[in-house]
A and B are shown apart, each in its own frame.
Chain A
Amino acid sequence: AQSVTQLDSHVSVSEGTPVLLRCNYSSSYSPSLFWYVQHPNKGLQLLLKYTSAATLVKGINGFEAEFKKSETSFHLTKPSAHMSDAAEYFCVVSDPTGGFKTIFGAGTRLFVKA
């Protein structure tokens, strides 16, 4: 069965410094992986997705993620944090052996300090 673990419930960075949000997954097949962002009182928005093409995936707002099969990881990074990046981030896995269920991680709250 597929699962996803976000290793940090909270991450705090200073504005202008790099962001790293960690995600590990478990899947018996080649999964599709996603990162979504949820700003307070707003709907979920897709940041980026991996679907067995290039392992380094670029998303919106300067975010990118690297799929590492050997480490079963899909960490989200950004070179320089902006105040507007403060939000909840969810790593998501979906694979056909799971009936195409879309499973969310518990989320990582990103705080950005001025």
Chain B
Amino acid sequence: EAGVAQSPRYKIIEKRQSVAFWCNPISGHATLYWYQQILGQGPKLLIQFQNNGVVDDSQLPKDRFSAERLKGVDSTLKIQPAKLEDSAVYLCASTLDRVDTEAFFGQGTRLTVV
């Protein structure tokens, strides 16, 4: 089966610009996650969707970050305006449904803000 697809793989932008990332989860997976992984740290959960509804976005900086999963399939994560500290790898993952099933991760998008 196809894995979790993310694009782009790399992005370099200037601070105060906006950027968007796209994720297509594994077909049939109801739960989708966006993580931020800063260099040298573990992934930090930004937002979790169950189908097209938000389960948890407590760690999403809502003044600049937004995410949507309108049809309960693919998802976009947007940053506007970007700050230097947003430089990180943004990972998308999906699970079939329940919490104890394996999460499948995409390759990630490496964002550099200069």
Contact = CB atoms under 8 A, between A and B. Distances in A.
Physical interaction between A and B = yes
Interface of A: 32, 34, 42-46, 49, 51, 90, 94-96, 99-107
Given A99-B55, A101-B48, A101-B56, A90 B43 contact: yes
Given A43-B105, A46-B103, 8 more contacts: A34-B102, A43-B106, A43-B107, A44-B93, A99-B56, A100-B55, A102-B99, A104-B42
The residue in A34, A42, A43 that gathers the most chain B C-beta atoms within 10 A of its C-beta is A43
B33 A102 contact: yes
Nearest to B59: A101
Interface magnitude class on chain B: 20 to 34
A99 B91 CA distance: 20
B41 A106 contact: yes
